[in-house]
Structure 1
Amino acid sequence: MTARAGGPDHRPPPISDDDRDTGVRRVQEAYAGGLISYEEMDARLQQVLTARMHGELVTALAPLPEEDADTTATITAVGGRIVRRGAWRIPRVLRVESALGRVHLDLSRAIIEHPVVDIELRLGTGRARITVPRDAIVDVEGLRTGWRDPIYQTRRSSRPGGPRIRISGAMGMGRLKIRHARR
């Protein structure tokens, strides 16, 4: 007996968590940018979160602007150091991949054009240090650590309007230290 096209052997794959997260982020950015109302954001988030197949996700996101390819950058090193500091432009999504080296990202004087910045870490061994602006709000909920928890002390008070820095990904044997800039 042969399988028919469209039969049980040819089901399209369900959407991944990354696809769903990207959809949620696009809806939230459209709302933050004033492109959609709160009610529309709420309805679209419901569609994205309950979508099972890519077609349902595409329908929920169709009227929203596409993500700009320039808003994603990847920094990769097998060994050695990754260092970014000074007045550098932060993309919307920054992926940092290092198997053995140390990572130091200083965002305190960086040019941050997006209300939300996602930093995705893929680190093996080695330490990572991220310095964020004084008024930044930091979220490390999406970060998985294999050895030690990140060191981060939430600021007692921050001025409204600061960027939201979401740190996600996975770290092996290293440790992440996050601190707010003093000035």
Structure 2
Amino acid sequence: MTSLPEDLPRRIGEGDRDAGVRRLQEAYAEGHLSHEEMDARLHQALTATTHGELVEALGSLPAEPAGTASTIGAVSGRIKRRGVWRVPRFLKVESALGRVHLDLSRAVIEHPVVDIELQLGTGRARITVPRDSTVEFEALRAGWKDTRYRRPGRRSGPAAVGGPTIRISGAMGMGRLKIRHAWR
């Protein structure tokens, strides 16, 4: 029986490729890429099979316009995003009393860095990030409970590299934030 490595890079689908191609076309239209560089990067994006290869094709492009930020808000109740959904470059989540669950494990992440700003009152939050991602949450202020972050370790195998960086900032009132990597 042949065993597979546990830390295979995250494979991308057509949605990821299409988003990468759109980003390259926008950069070309804005004059950030020459025709030759556009052709080379398009070929690289269209033949990419992993998230790391796609990020490499999009590397050194200027930051996207500030208009790509999105806000999700609720006074109470639950905020839940999971499955296949497009993650903006900047995401702000606001909730006074509710629970928040963001699952990025199957989400379409077009950016090498995603900034998530949490503004939560008494509710708790859980964020599941892709297995190959890097997480930074030093800019998050927790009022009552410390953030729990489960890094990939011995039990789940080593973390893959080359995925997006997820930066979490903002303020948590009386709730707790739990961050974990997806199993696959």
Given the two structures, how large is their TM-score scaled by the length of structure 2?
0.63
Aligned-partner residue type, residue 123 of structure 2: G
TM-align CA RMSD? 1.5
Matched, 1:121 2:118: yes
1:95 corresponds to: 92
SS, match of residue 100 in structure 1: coil
Residue 59 (structure 1) aligns with: none
CA separation in 1, counterparts of 2:105 and 2:146? 23
Aligned partner (choices 132, 137, 142) of residue 135 of structure 1: 132
- Are 1:147 and 2:118 matched, yes or no? no
* Contact 1:108 1:131 (8 Å CA) reproduced: yes
Matched, 1:171 2:184: no
Equivalent of 2:73 in 50, 73, 76: 76
Deviation at 1:128, TM superposition (A): 0.4
Number of residue equivalences: 123
Residues 1:104 and 2:101 are matched in the alignment = yes
Counterpart Cα distance in 1 of 2:152 and 2:126:
17
Alignment of 1:1-80 (within 5 A): 33-35=59-61, 65=62, 67-80=64-77
**What are the superposed Cα offsets for residues 62-120 of structure 1, whole Å, 9 maximum, x if unpaired?**
xxx56424421000101111000010000001000000000000000000000000000
Q: Which structure is higher in RCO with an 8 Å CA cutoff and minimum separation 6?
A: 2
Q: Deviation above 6 Å: which 4+ runs of structure 1?
A: none
Select the structure of larger CA radius of gyration. Answer: 1
Unaligned runs of 5+ residues in structure 2 are: 1-57
Q: Given that residues 99 and 125 in structure 1 are in contact (C-alpha distance below 8 angstroms), is that contact kept between their aligned partners in structure 2?
A: yes
Does the aligned pair in 2 maintain the 1:70–1:91 contact within 8 Å? Answer: no
Q: Give per-residue Cα distances to partners, 1:121-161, cap 9 Å, x unaligned.
A: 00000110001111111011110000011110222432221
In structure 1, list runs of 5 or more residues that go unmatched. Answer: 1-31, 36-64
Identity of aligned residues (%): 72
Structure-1 residue corresponding to 2:51: none
Q: Is 1:159 aligned with 2:156?
A: no
Deviation at 1:34, TM superposition (A): 2.0
* 2-structure distance, mates of 1:166, 1:119: 6
SS in structure 2 opposite 1:34? Answer: coil
**TM-score normalized with structure 1 length:** 0.64
Counterpart-to-counterpart distance in 2, 1:152 and 1:95: 20
